[in-house]
Structure 1
Amino acid sequence: MLTRKEETLLEALEPAATQAGIEIVTVEVAGAKKAPTIKVYIDTPSGVGFDQLAAAQKWIGAIMDDIDPFPGAYTLEVSSPGIDRPLRTPEHFTKFAGEDVLITCRGPVSGRSKWTGVLRGFQDGSVIVEAEGESVSIPLEDIKRARVKGKIDFNA
Structure 2
Amino acid sequence: MAASVEIIRRALADALASVDVDLEDLQITAAGRREVVRVVVDRDGGIDLDRVADISRQIAELLDVPPLADEFAGTYVLEVSSPGTDRPLTEEKHWRRAERRLVEATLVDDSILTGRIVSAASGVVEIELSTGEVRAVPLSSLRRGVVQLEFSRPASDSTDEAKDSADEE
- Structure 1 residue identity aligned to 2:60: G
Deviating runs (4+, > 6 A) in structure 1? none
Structure 2 counterpart of 1:74 = 76
Q: Does 1:52 align with 2:51?
A: yes
Which has the larger Rg?
A: 2
Q: How many residues align?
A: 121
- Deviation for aligned residue 1:92: 4.9
- Deviation for aligned residue 1:49: 1.1
The change in CA–CA distance for 1:121 and 1:56 in structure 2 (over 3 A counts) is: farther
- Deviation for aligned residue 1:94: 6.6
Local SS of the residue matching 1:36: strand
- Structure 2 residue identity aligned to 1:84: D
The change in CA–CA distance for 1:155 and 1:46 in structure 2 (over 3 A counts) is: closer
Local SS of the residue matching 2:31: coil
- Deviation for aligned residue 1:55: 1.0
Local SS of the residue matching 1:84: coil
The change in CA–CA distance for 1:60 and 1:87 in structure 2 (over 3 A counts) is: farther
Structure 2 counterpart of 1:154 = 151
Q: Conserved in 1, the CA contact under 8 Å of 2:21 and 2:41?
A: yes
- Deviation for aligned residue 1:93: 6.9
Q: Conserved in 2, the CA contact under 8 Å of 1:41 and 1:79?
A: yes
Question: What does the per-residue CA deviation read over 1:53-104, in whole Å, with 9 as the maximum and x for residues that have no partner?
Answer: 111111100111121232212110111112122667x5457757x95489xx
CA–CA distance in 1 between the matches of 2:37 and 2:105? 24
CA–CA distance in 1 between the matches of 2:138 and 2:9? 24
Local SS of the residue matching 1:76: strand
Local SS of the residue matching 1:27: strand
Gaps of 5+ in 1: 103-114, 130-145
Structure 1 counterpart of 2:25 = 26
Local SS of the residue matching 2:23: strand
Identity %: 24
Gaps of 5+ in 2: 114-136, 154-169
Structure 1 counterpart of 2:87 = 85
- Deviation for aligned residue 1:155: 4.7
CA–CA distance in 1 between the matches of 2:37 and 2:58? 14
Question: Which structure has more RCO (C-alpha within 8 Å, separation ≥ 6)?
Answer: 1
Local SS of the residue matching 2:24: strand
Structure 2 counterpart of 1:133 = none
What RMSD, in angstroms, separates the aligned Cα atoms of the two structures?
A: 3.7
